[in-house]
Every structure is written in structure tokens, then in C-alpha cells.
Amino acid sequence: MRSKSKTIPVLAAAVLLLIVAVFGYVQADDDKKMPVRILFKNNGGKVIFSHLVHHRDYAIDCAKCHHDRESVAVGKDDEALACGSCHPNEFDESYIEGHMDSFPDETYCVRCHHTEYGEVIFDHDAHTDYADDCYDCHHGEEIEPEPQKCANCHKGEDSEDLVSMRVAGHESCRTCHEDMFHQGLSSCKSCHVAVDMTQYEGDYTSCNDCHETETRELVLPRMNAFHDQCMSCHEEMGAGPYGPDNCNQCHISR
């Protein structure tokens, strides 16, 4: 029978090896959060980007490329966002539905969904002095024999029979306040109370509800973002490909 003196060192060695293996596994998992290389699929040819070389060998701060950051990432819970979190390959329904899962928490939402408006500043008594009668703002007697609150009929969304409260209110107000509407977004605070976005927990208004610009033009697609970011940096440093004839230095021919 093997003596206890021989068994104890064997067990101790086995425990030590187990601890080292577990530590190595966890450590490797943490290291994976900073990719060594990234493969980008592109119609012009795949691009292999050496993330580690740019960060470690060229000593480029995370904040230089990841403009969602103001400083260098210092810990495993302080990583920069992946570019695809904000810059989609295609700004389609799939991206719109899934992009919120790309962010660590809801504090990132306000970087794009920058303003929501709550209560409307409206002095009804003052308007009774401005108007000739109630029907300057309310529907005629054929629709509502007695003026009532707009929200009694108009709701948050359009229906088959009625436009939303937002559209109805804007159309009604515009008849007298065309000058405010010509000012564009700068006039919203004249009527609406801006919400404190750091405490906001509601649904976000669609971009097109406020911006007349096509949504796809408000957020650069991933290819345009990379071209602007990479090529401008290379040109600034006077190194690497950045000219119109240097495509094949990044893109692998198909």
C-alpha cells in the first residue's frame, strides 16, 4: 500500500495543476476581449485588420479609433465598443431591432437618441384671447358640436380614421405659428419641455419623426466609417494605405 507520505505530494500537485488550469482558462477568456485580428467581409474583398499590432506595437490609444471613449480602456469591464454597435453593414430592420443588444447598458442610448420631449407648454386661457372663437383651433360644429380635449379622440399613434395626437397638434398649431415651424428643430423647446435623458426610461422616438434627413445618412454605414477613420489616420501619419490606388493593400482579391 502506498504510504500517506507519497500520496499527499501527489494530491497537492494535482490541486496546484487544477488551479493553474482554471486561472489560465479565465485569463485566456479575458484576453479574447481584445481581438488579435478582425476579419471584415466586404464586396470589394475581405479585409484582415491587425487589431493587436495597431494597439500594442503602434501604441494607438483605444480612444483614437473608438470615439465612443474619452480615455484608454483600463480594465476588463471598461472595453471600447465594437464598431458594429453603432455602424451597421446595412441600416435595415434587422439592425434596428437588434442594435440595442450591442451596448453594455442603456446609458449609451442617449448618444444617438439625444432628445425626447415631454410635457407641452400651452396656455389655453391666453389662446382664448388670441383666437376669434374656439373653432379657430378646434374642429367645426359638424365634427364636434362642443369643443373638447384633442386627446379625447387623437391618441399616440395614427389609426385608420384619425391621425395621431402629435400630427393633429402640429397641424393645428402650424396654422397660426408657421414662423416657429420654419425654424425647424430649434423651435421645439418653445413648446415642449425637454426630458432629462440621463433618467429616461421610455421608448425612443424614431429618427425620422424629427430629422428630415434619411436615417441611413445620419449614421455612417460600417464601410464608410472604416474608410474615413483608417484612411484619414494613415494620411495624417504618412504611413500605410490611404490613397485611391491602395485598395489592394487592405482588401484581399476575390
Query: In 3D, which of 122, 246, 245 has the Cα closest to residue 172?
Result: 122
| CA–CA gap between residue 176 and residue 129 (Å, rounded) | 14
- pLDDT score, position 235: 92
- Output the pLDDT for position 71: 66
Task: Provide the strand spans (E) within the chain.
Answer: 38-40, 47-49, 117-120, 192-194
Buried b (16+ CB within 10 A) or exposed e, 173-199: beeeeeeeeeeeeeeeeebbeeeeeee
CA dist 226 and 213 (Å) reads 22
Please state which CATH number belongs to domain 119-194.
3.90.10.10
Buried b (16+ CB within 10 A) or exposed e, 207-238: beeeeeeeeeeebbebeebbeebbbebbeeee
**pLDDT for the residue 16:** 73
Q: What is the pLDDT of residue 29?
A: 44
Please state the domain extents for the chain: 1-32, 119-194
Residues in a beta bridge with 48: 39
The pLDDT of residue 217 is 79
C-alpha cell at 194: 425637454
- The pLDDT value given to residue 44: 83
For position 234, what pLDDT does the model report? 92
Q: What are the pLDDT tens digits along the chain (254 aa)?
A: 455 566 777 676 776 777 666 555 444 444 456 788 888 888 888 999 998 889 888 888 888 888 877 766 555 556 778 888 888 888 888 888 888 888 888 888 888 888 888 888 888 898 988 888 888 889 888 888 888 888 888 988 888 888 988 888 888 888 888 887 776 556 678 888 888 888 888 888 888 777 777 777 788 888 888 898 899 999 998 988 998 889 988 998 76
